[in-house]
Amino acid sequence: MTLAAAQHGFLSPTGVEIAFLLVGLATFGAALVTVTTRQLVHAALWLVVTLGGLAVEYLLLTAEFIAWVQVLIYVGSVVVLLLFGLMLTRAPIGRSPDADSGNRWAALAVAVASAAALVWVVVDAFRTTWIDLDGAAAGTTKVTGESLFQNWVLPFEALSVLLLAALVGAIVLSRKAKADAATAAQAREPRGEQAAEEGAR
């Protein structure tokens, strides 16, 4: 063991580790605001901060390719798709009572259970995993591309179909809302004409 390795420990973190912790806390706070705010547009914007914080975490882990994919795909595409859906469905800009279903405790219990299951799965999967320092660096384009297009092609394509279905659903909902508004306007017109005739009489 070298002298530098002996001096470095849990009580003497490096600058990268401190930055990783601070960015992680900021990302966690942004994620909490995302799921607790009652303003849909604000939730989408805080989601941008959360996903951007994750990209910074990937950069600190020297996974540059994953970080740029995080920015291009999630921040640049998924969040834009969410905002596009909000605009198509004419979601309210301010506070929306529909954003609070009254099941906060049930949602919190499900979130805690999901987080515990995710942490257990990740810890169990990587408990005996060792990094090959002689091979290609983890997080590079070559390693990530091979893993993505060999092992994760089907989930990747399923996610793209899901996003497409969400976009089509938003368009259908917006057209239905326009049709209902036109029907209501047509129903009001005869009443207005009848009232005008009665007033003329």
Q: At which of 75, 100, 125 does a domain end?
A: 100
The answer to whether residue 69 is domain-embedded is: yes
For residue 39, list its beta bridge partners.
95
For residue 177, tell me if it sits in a domain: yes
pTM of the model: 0.59
Domain boundary among 38, 66, 100: 100
Determine, yes or no, domain membership for 146.
Answer: no
Whole-number Å distance between alpha carbons of 98 and 38:
8
Residue 145, domain member (yes or no): no
End-to-end CA distance of the chain: 103
pLDDT at residue 194, as a whole number: 54
Task: Specify if 1 maps to a domain.
Answer: yes
Confidence of residue 21 (pLDDT cuts 50, 70, 90): very high
Let me know if residue 133 belongs to a domain: no
Q: Are residues 88 and 170 in the same domain?
A: no
Q: At what angle do helices 40-60 and 15-36 cross, to 10 degrees?
A: 160
Number of domains in the chain: 2
Place of tokens 């601070």: 22
**Looking at the structure, do residues 94 and 188 belong to the same domain, yes or no?**
no
How does pLDDT run across 133-182, given as a tens digit for each residue? 666 666 667 777 777 778 777 887 887 788 788 778 777 777 766 666 66
Q: Are residues 95 and 157 part of one domain? A: no
Q: Is residue 136 included in any domain, yes or no? A: no
10 Å Cβ neighbour count for 51? 21
CA distance 155 to 2: 44
Q: What is the pLDDT of residues 86-136, one digit of tens each?
A: 777 666 666 666 666 677 788 889 989 998 999 998 888 777 777 666 666
- Structure confidence at residue 14 (pLDDT): 82
Q: Are residues 96 and 156 in the same domain?
A: no
pLDDT at res. 190: 57
* Of 59, 71, 63, nearest in space to 139 by CA: 63
Q: How many CB atoms lie within 10 A of CB 72?
A: 11
Q: How confident is the model at residue 1 (pLDDT cuts 50, 70, 90)?
A: very low
Range of the domain at 59: 1-100
